[in-house]
Amino acid sequence: MKDQKALPTITCGVLCHNEVNSIAKCIDRIMDESNQLLLSKVWVVDNASTDGSTEVLKNLAQIYPKLEIHFSNVNQIGGARQWIVDHCTTDLLLFTDGDCEVPNNWVSQLLKAYIKLRDQDLTGGVCGPNRLPENSVWQKSINLFMDSSLGHGFSPQAYKPNRPVRTDHLPTTNALFSVSALKETEGFKSDWMVGEDVQMGRQLRDRGYALWLLPSPIVFNDCAEHFDGWILRMRKFGSARWLHSPWTSWPLFLGGLLLASVLAYLLGPWAFLAGILLLLSFEVLIRTLKSWMERKTPASPFSIKGAAYLYGLFTLRSYFLGWIQQGFYFLRRP
């Protein structure tokens, strides 16, 4: 990386909505010498903030020449990201949010990995995992939980692999995209408030691009002041993954039929019938939950937060299917 003239040019895009307590620290970290030297420009889209973030951003723009602000009169996450894509003139585009704190050498770590993987495959982008800042016991506990397979569920938001691994999307709190790849797609949906990264991941993969999750860098995302706020965020995240991920487009019947067939092979026809009944019950339950999420009006006093939260933790569909496949091979062994 000594010959910076040969490096791709990079823009950093930041989204901000009512981040008066964190946006200055976020920008200061991005403008750290180890990061800003590799950046051509930093775009911040302020999504109709009402808490004083606008004034903070105006002051920051006076300090940092590379920083430019776009003030939007509506709060649309997908629309703001697409605005940055449309106005990006560099080779690569970094994304993070105004409630995030990036590490030293954030840009160089992602860039180095991207260049290496780009030479091996048609790469649409790379990302790193996220963690909560450890300012309280509950945040430290969540971070410890996320280090386990039960906690991260192999979701790119939380999973820290030992080496670069393919993933289904790039969480836009800590991601580096190829701009040309982004511009081949239909773009981020302007009216989406959550799940826009999942939708973009699907578009890129449909066009043959590989997306990679890296062991580092790790970005600290101060997304909630209290535990209940974090739970609410997980509910929204789980709902978005459920509604917008390719898994929901898979025929549930085929997966259930595989399980029922395994039961029939092992335990006989009665087990097969029992498996079919379980399949039908499962499909009714899943489709009912999906319908509730789409209406956003829970039809039960117990609500669906728990189900959506759990889905937010167990988001990698291929991991679930891998369990089935490994179990099937194990049971078939002589």
- 173-211 core/surface letters (b: 16 or more CB in 10 A; e: else): bbbbbbbebbeebebbbeebebbbbbbbbbbbbeeebbb
Same-domain check for residues 147 and 191 = yes
In a domain, 230, yes or no: no
Same-domain check for residues 219 and 250 = no
Amino acid 277: pLDDT: 60
- The range of the structural domain enclosing residue 106 comes to 4-223
Q: How far is CA 317 from CA 17, 42, 70, 134, in A?
A: 31, 35, 37, 29
In a domain, 234, yes or no: no
- Boundary (domain end) residue, out of 188, 223, 258: 223
| Residue 228: both structure tokens together | 């209940």
pLDDT in tens, the chain (334 residues): 444 447 899 999 999 998 999 999 999 999 999 999 999 999 999 988 898 899 999 999 999 999 999 998 878 888 899 999 999 999 999 999 999 999 999 999 999 999 999 878 899 999 999 998 888 887 787 778 777 766 666 677 778 888 999 988 899 999 999 999 999 999 988 776 667 888 898 899 989 999 999 999 999 988 777 777 777 666 666 656 655 555 444 444 455 556 556 656 666 666 656 655 665 555 555 555 554 544 444 433 333 434 444 444 443 333 344 444 444 444 444 4
Q: Could you tell me the sign of the dihedral formed by the alpha carbons of 117, 212, 38, 8, in that order?
A: positive
Same-domain check for residues 292 and 203 = no
* Beta-ladder partners of 131: 220
- Specify the pairing of strand 92-97 against strand 10-16: parallel
Q: Which residue has the tokens 């030992």?
A: 162
Alpha-carbon distance 178 to 8, whole Å?
A: 10
Amino acid 185: pLDDT: 94
Closest CA to 13 of 66, 49, 74: 66
Same-domain check for residues 293 and 198 = no
Taking the complete model, does pTM exceed 0.85, yes or no?
no
Amino acid 126: pLDDT: 97
Q: How far is CA 79 from CA 45, 82, 191, 198, in A?
A: 10, 5, 6, 15
Same-domain check for residues 299 and 189 = no
Q: Is 74 in a helix, a strand, or coil? A: coil
| Residue 50: both structure tokens together | 């009402």
DSSP designation for 102: P
Same-domain check for residues 175 and 40 = yes
Same-domain check for residues 158 and 288 = no
Long-range contacts of 137-142 (CB under 8 A, 24+ apart): 138/226, 138/227, 138/230, 142/230
Residue 270 CB burial class (10 angstroms; 0-12, 13-18, ≥19): exposed
| Residue 251: both structure tokens together | 């025929």
Same-domain check for residues 103 and 34 = yes
Alpha-carbon distance 86 to 171, whole Å?
A: 19
Amino acid 76: pLDDT: 82
Amino acid 236: pLDDT: 64
Same-domain check for residues 14 and 101 = yes
In a domain, 320, yes or no: yes
Helix ranges (DSSP H) in 42-186? 53-63, 77-86, 106-118, 137-146, 149-152, 179-184
Rg (CA), the chain: 21
In a domain, 238, yes or no: no
Alpha-carbon distance 82 to 186, whole Å?
A: 10
